[in-house]
Structure 1
Amino acid sequence: MWRSIASKSSLTRNFGRKLFSLQNPRSQVIHKPLNSSPFSSHISSTQHFHHQNHRFLSHSSSISEFETENHDATSSEELELENGEGFDDTHVASSSKNYELTHEFDENAENNDAQIVGFSSNDQELKGVVNEGISVIDVEKLENVLSLLQSSVDGSLESNLDNIDLRLSEEFVVRVLKTPLIPGDHLIWFCKWVSSRNDFEVTTLVLNELARAICNDPALKRKDVYALWDMTKEIGEKESGLLNAEILNQLLSAFSKLGKGKAAFEVFGKFEELGCVPNVDTYYFTIEALCKRSFYDWATLVCQKMLDAKMLPESEKVGEIISLYCKGHRSKEAHVVYLAAKENNRYPPQKAVNFLVSCLSKVDETVNLAQEMLVDFSGEVRKHAINPFSWVIRGLCRKKDIEGAKKLFNEMIVEGPPPGNGVFNVIINSLSKAGDLEEAKDMLKLMESRGLKPDVYSYSVIISGYSKGGLMEEACKVLSMAKKEHPKLCPATFHTLIRGYCNLRDFDNALKLLSEMKDYGVEANVDEYNKLIQSLCLKALDWKKAEKLLEEMKEKNLHLPGITRGLINAVKELEQEAIGSEEAQSKTVVD
């Protein structure tokens, strides 16, 4: 008997201490089995009702007074029980005795506010603490709900849930939403059922957890996200203040992952109507979703709003926006974002900057913007920026701004990054096309002075420039320079020379070059033969040499185009007709 009394007093006092120690109670979920001590318990998943704070203080006072009144009743046996000593099954109260203990506590507690319920002797599990402002999660019913939602439902989900006879609380619903392996459509059905109940009101926390569960699911499903959006709109339009930017941002992120740009744009457009204020993530996810589907005009509208609101995301995400625009050939818009990021000290990753320079350099209209960006390259970044500088020089040369290209080239010589063969070749090619062949040759010498070896392309470009100008002697000098540096030349080197000789009707030198190609590891291709045969037929009317070249081609298994073959026959027939006409005229004169 004394053991039973001591057990009741100890249990009462222990709960009083635990409840008093909680500063701002909202709910308690107690479901950890008892271990070494018969009365040990663990209180977890504590959340707070702000409007209950002052009420709980009065409850705590009652519990403290109750504890004081019963302090003298503590015996040595009771202390043993609290320390886990002398414990046996007789000390665990039965269900009826638990009710007596609850009733006794209830009578001593002030305003009937505190109750102890559900202390099971079978599994030694404390199921819940109920207080006005402290809600219960029934573990057994929670498991039933989870089992129902995680399995295929036979019949109506709503009717199955009704049969469980749940006492709903925010904590209970959140626990369900945080449980993994529940299909998204079942979670949405569950929340719709919950919102239809008269004894429960959907909260922002519930909607946030539902959005997180649906939108962060690794197996993201389009129908679930659209169903969530429909439900969110319906709730937001009926009751203001429930939705926030975090909930809508999760929807934007999910639509972006699914590649649903229009849906994301619709969510963005509903922010003001649903009483939410866009933040940094709002703009980023919307722009990302729109650019993925090539809705760049809409993306630009959102981007402009982002810049006007001065809500640039972090540097990495700024780089992503720039890259998305560049992929859609919207380098101008990307450059606007770059300038805003620079102004706000959100300098994007160098990879994104290089990508932007490359895209700007490909369009004549924006090359100068790319050139201006190079000013921001300094220190180690500039040392390794050979490609961005090369792209800009190539763009300047393409738009025939040779002076601008040379100026930037000279800056590279002085300040770095040191130009390589590629940059030299771009300048040499531009100078050659512009007719500045002597300056182009000077570039070859500059390359050698900087420890670079001009490649075959460098020589071929200058040879082509001289050949097009009919300066075959100068072209041959450059060819001699190339032969000394490179034992193997390329077909283009000889092709330009052969074409140059053909234009001057110097077919002997053209045929000589054709035969020399083998000595430098170059096999004549169809282009060389075709050009030379056409020139022989049309300009020299020498079908015999043309026919000889045709035989060479057959030996090399090269096939001459039919038009050129017909040209040989046509010239041959014309010559025979001319000979026949001359013979006829001679015969007439003799007669």
Structure 2
Amino acid sequence: MKRAKGILASLRVVESLLLNRVSPTRSLHYQATHYSQFSPLFSSSSSFLSNQKAYTYVFPNTRQMLHFSSKPESIVELITNSIWSDCLEKELEKSHSTTLRYETVIYVLKNLEENPQQALDFFNWVSGKNGFKPCSTIYTLMLRILANNETMKEVWIFIKKMSDEGCDIDEEMYATILSKLTSNALKKFFKKMKQENAIDATVISLVDGILNSHSNNEVEKKLREVKVNLSENTILKIIRALHQYPFKALWFFRSVSSVQSHNAVTYNGILKVLAQEQSIEEFWCMVEELKSAGHHIDIDTYTKLSRQFFKRKMFKEAVELCELMMDSPYKPLVENCSSVLREILSLEMPDLDLLLRVFRKCESFGYIFPNTTYESIRKSLNSAGRLDDGRKILRAMRNVNTDNNNYRQVVIGLCKARRLEEARKILDEMEEQGCVPDVKTWTSLVQGYCMAREIDQALKCYSEMLKKNLIADTNLIEVLVNSLCSNNKVDSAYTLVINMGDKANFSHWCATYKHLIRKLLGEKKFEKAIDLFRLALKNNDNPPVFQLFADYISKDGTVEDARNLLKALNVKEEPSPSTYIRILQSFLKVGRQPEARILFQKFPDHIRNHPDICL
């Protein structure tokens, strides 16, 4: 009840200070939406071979059975939300009576990286389907997934399969897998396998011939001369061996196409070599050729290409590739897109247009990023003065845990740009989204109006804040008092502080309090200055303003003013003799002996008889 009365009193004071009536706030409603087609519907711990746990899957608000479509993400969803069983295999068979594409298998495995057992179950199932033969890319991806001490047995099995089928491991994958293994035996076996799978003499001869060639025709001639089985794995070996010579790798690729068709595996292989600045035109032409042939960039290749582009500072190409993948059936994960945004933001001068291209593309597919990602983007946009784009990012944050701090930064940016009405509307947007503006957010807006010298609008905001039962903190009062004083509205500042009553913590804004006292005394409003001084003492604050009063009394004050000052000091305890001496001396120093004598006569007997006090 006491708090409510205090708020009502403050509210009446503020409204009396305004030139115009504060318009009633319009009603606000709560509307919060949170959606992401990629958000997990439940969480579960990963399970391994003999330690599986049953999963329960229930659609939100329904009891319907899971309907499975042929989209790659639906396969991932079905597998992750089920335990492997005959029933699951039948569901997969029903939707995929034909052989799965290479790109789809890569996509599913990539999305199952965090659950080796599920990845292994899927691999075993898809490998048993007629017409599907795992390539070295799939083997090495599975090996990376299984390179864990808990699945050591499966790692050995895969190494054996790869060795039997002549699959090799590229340098990057080799280093990645070795870094994850702790078994010395495995490390030795890997090194031995790497040596055994080294390019044989025939392939070395072909690579040397290609390096010494000067045209595509010469490469074709060399290919006819060297009798080599151009298997998928052999083609990948040769392409990787030519990675420092992208144009010669392309000559070889074209020469192979004259005798046999390329598939998704070899197309993805050549793209990794062409993703260099010197051959970027050829890279994009190959992407179009791959699409025309009915293939897609697989998600594992995309991850490597994106990493290559950023390593080579080819940010535009990385963004274009991300956009391309978002339009394909094999969309990058939210984490992949977040890494693209982070790479751009890491630049000293981020290309904000590229940043927004990625963000808008992902947003159009319902991607929801971590709060920190949104905040980093918004800060970069605001720093560059692109406040409108910053607000769009803020609106996109509605599906995550947007807090007052996110909105407050937008309010501050708009206020600095003197776009105060837009800043005010942000607070309405906050309430519509169920995020109630706190005192700090209101303070930012009030400060914005004060900086623009729109004091009446600042007071209106303060009034609205009080109507919402928010208690002003010292920062807000300090902002208002300083602004009112600067705009020659000292009486209004006085009224504002007085009506705070016991909530006025003067020790937290001592400089502002002294400034207000000085302004009141400068306008010869001694009584109001004493009222503030008395309030401060009542609240157990003792700001250092006594000398301001003493100086005022010595020049312009009366005996009655001096007595009122002593009475104010008597709120908690009687003033010390030294206090009486200082006030008495304030008259004597400026030659006002008559006033000093009159004041002395009004002192209490024990003060007049004090040995240190005499006239």
TM over 0.5: no
Bigger-Rg structure (1/2)? 1
Q: Give the shorter-chain TM-score range.
A: 0.3 to 0.5
The structure, 1 or 2, with the larger RCO (C-alpha pairs under 8 Å, 6+ apart) is: 2
Using structure 2 for the length normalisation, give the TM-score.
0.42
Using structure 1 for the length normalisation, give the TM-score.
0.44
